[in-house]
Structure 1
């Protein structure tokens, strides 16, 4: 039966909705008899929150009350941990929610009808084009360099009088490389001071490159810089949706005007505070994942794979037209991976057995490299 054609007397979405790319969440692994299935498609860590976090969730007894809209306890805890003023922190529903707040504040269509432009590397976090266009701004996508890194020179060249925001993802999702402090310092020296530069550091806890940009230092030195961070990755709290931005007061006071009220629940806030109170345990687990990442990278390199240098909790296989074939092979051995059509595959670092199986899959798939 054919669907009825859309007519003018039906409710219509904004025209931009039809142009938006569809966000594709990582799929669960296929069930294969005799094999334990592993999900390596969503950059989740393979274990849940700390026991102290579970306890904080269990003890929450204010579900009938609205949460503190300012997340005061969490902001105070973060202020101590990061050594920044609490007023410089705005919480959100994950770093994604925090970014929505930033874009809704600083990018969109102006009263004269001219749209702001938001520059970002591509491929990068797949939500960027969705959020930018939903806010009413124009996306300006700058292709990555061949090694999966940001092309900062081309990004600078794209800046014009309509540029309002630049997004820098470090480590870059899905390819993995970081931006160095020297690169970012040089970049910021050439960006107009009325352009907001966002450092998306969702995977900051996994970074071991000593030359990597120091987000806190960079924000301290530049009034047009805002950091994005999250409890979804290293802290193992993806389901609780809690993240935050860090910026100077002239930025945060405006973000708070448009911030989603009660975006971070009391459950999520107490859980995040408990996780910060036990940060040594969090970082100890992260260190284990970093070791696994290095083991996987070394094995793939020994096999002959040419992959970007990753500082995140995932690796990127630039498979191009062979992407879907690799995804199918992974499904056949009960591994779910995140394929980007005709570009490549991102694979999260998971349990040791999952990583071993992925290494073996790569060995058997060198014909696709």
Structure 2
């Protein structure tokens, strides 16, 4: 069938995003076709659009990891889905049969892919996805709210519970409070009973971080990060620090961590190169843990919280899919708190 999409035919800036009619095959075995109603933008979309050695795309390429819509058609043998069902789509694809997949750790699968990264994504009216990637949302969540949640929620869930092993009463620092992952981490830490200190470089995001549950917010455009963490913790430092900035922010996090503290990082939007004083790592027993995505089971476990409203992925704005270029520009300019949603008419 033919359907309309926003695609890239080369790497570059937002100007490479263009509207195009594409051919979409019928869903294959154990696949379903979803009529997309909303798809959110992640920083992964920006990285993929810009290009690099890790990206091996088949052009025209469709971005978009986070999809919400309605099941439109079933492929042969498709399970657990019915036509007309409202769903969100888990963004990770894996082989399903290797040791990691059968252990419920599919994001460690050697063939792991993410929708919209090295495989076609959801910037379109229709998309085919494996039946095992569907999560029903009933009539509880609107499509924009459902599309905002998947990637950031499963990423934050793994960081919070599998890596950091959050416990009540801990002091937790969350970098870049306005990012999608950070907005979920703030809420998860509060739900488990931790004290949350969030950081932001934008004064206008301070109160929005507090509204999500942050007990303290450090505006790094006005206050020095490490001295503020030390002041707020009585010089003890933070038990857990969540980072996805990298660069000098990760360097400072080591100094701000408590003895035996854990730093969990899932990205490096501020820089890949980090200079660490190893004495601070081994002598104070600071752990630095890497984390990428999360399992399908993590998102399924978080789903009741999303459906009940106890956890939500904040939506900054909703714009038509066909205005994806302007939406990318807004995210690149860091003019966003939470998620930008592309609505598909």
Instruction: Indicate the structure with greater strand content.
Output: 2
Structure with higher RCO (Cα < 8 A, 6+ apart): 1
TM score, norm. by length of structure 1: 0.36
- Give the TM-score normalised by structure 2: 0.38
Q: Point out the structure with the larger helix share.
A: 1
Larger Rg: 1
